[in-house]
Amino acid sequence: MRRVYSSTKRYFENLFNGGLAYFLYKLIYLLSKKSIKSSRRYYELAYKYHFKSGSLIKAYSYKFKQMIFYETSNSTAYKKLAENYLDISNNRELVSLLELNESDKRYLKNRVECNTWKESDDIDDISVLCLGPAYLKSENINFDKYDFIIFNKPLITENFDIPPEKVIVILNNQWSSGVFKNQTIDWIKKGNFSRVYAPNDLFPDDKKTFKFSMDSNYLLASPMGLQRMLYLLILNLNIRDIEVVGYDFQLSLEPYANWYPSGLNFFHGSFYKGWLHTNIQHDFMFNFLFVKKIKEKFQGRVHGSVDIYLEMHIEKVISLFEKKMR
């Protein structure tokens, strides 16, 4: 019965691009006492509806209103989650574009960051290369000049002739506990890697596999592959030099090369549906600003293919994303 209810609810909330559910929850919200409970679905559906409709400015206007409402509420749990989100996303360029009233804009302008990332005094003089989904073999990278090569998926179809002792893989839930877990386990058993980091204990007794989880939770947003990777490399492993190749925030014409084992088609039936769903659920702008914040906070330690996008004005980045939707 619960499964039927969930399926029916999901179907209803996706009708007309989510517009019908958004209108209904908006009506309920306006007619009810504006509480955490009554506001959550309204703000979430408003964000999703405008995102799917190709208007990121409107989508993030609603999300920021939601976060301000939660951060100034009496709910300790929601307040903390909103703090974590705004610590990453409260970007001056983005806020200037949002449709917020003067009170909300003033609140964000005067807001003090609650949680700060601190740079360790003990930084390892190690150079790593993070190879992302858009990397092409024709780029002819000299892997010998790096201490380690980092991936966020197991190298099931391609090994790039990289010595196993240089390979580090940082997994997400899908590849460590979800439907692709068995493929990951089969690959790990071959032992062609240096270390694997996962959100859970894949092999508790294996000295080359490690459990890794991020310290913070974010309301209605979560770090994607590159973001989790940078967090681990900088804030946990204290790596000095990180070059990024093949990561472009999925803004390029070909964000996924053939070798990359993506699950977008598998889960959603088409690349576009999977791409859109992933960026809504994980929160595209949050993930973009996550990398931007890391690069600014730990200057000189992260560089590569993301730089051209991070140097753009936020309005240009949003425009590129919306063009891909069209």
Domain boundaries, the chain: 2-110, 124-314
In this predicted structure, the answer to whether residue 3 has a pLDDT above a threshold of 70 is no
Angle between helices 76-89 and 56-71 (to 10 degrees): 140
Q: Which pLDDT tens digit goes with each residue over 89-120? A: 999 999 999 999 999 999 999 999 998 888 88
Q: Categorize the per-residue pLDDT at 85 as very low, low, confident or very high, splitting at 50, 70 and 90.
A: very high
Which residues fall within 8 angstroms of residue 28, CB to CB, at 6 or more apart?
A: 38, 42
Give pLDDT, residue 83: 96
Q: What are 118-136's pLDDT values in tens digits?
A: 888 888 899 999 999 999 9
Report residue 13's pLDDT band, with 50, 70 and 90 as the boundaries: low
Alpha-carbon distance of 271 to 290, in angstroms, equals 24
Is the pTM of the predicted complex or chain greater than 0.85?
A: yes
So what's the pLDDT on residue 5? 44
Alpha carbon 241 to its chain centroid, in Å, reads 22
Which pLDDT value is given to residue 184? 87
Scan for tokens 């039927």, then name that residue: 4
Q: State pLDDT tens for residues 211-260.
A: 888 878 888 899 999 999 999 999 889 999 999 999 999 999 889 988 88
Give just the sign of the alpha carbon dihedral 122, 126, 127, 133: negative
Nearest to 289 by CA among 113, 141, 157: 113
Residues 6+ apart with CB under 8 A from 256: 133, 134, 262, 264, 271
Collect all residues with Cβ–Cβ distance below 8 Å to 282 and sequence separation of at least 6.
Answer: 221, 222, 223, 224
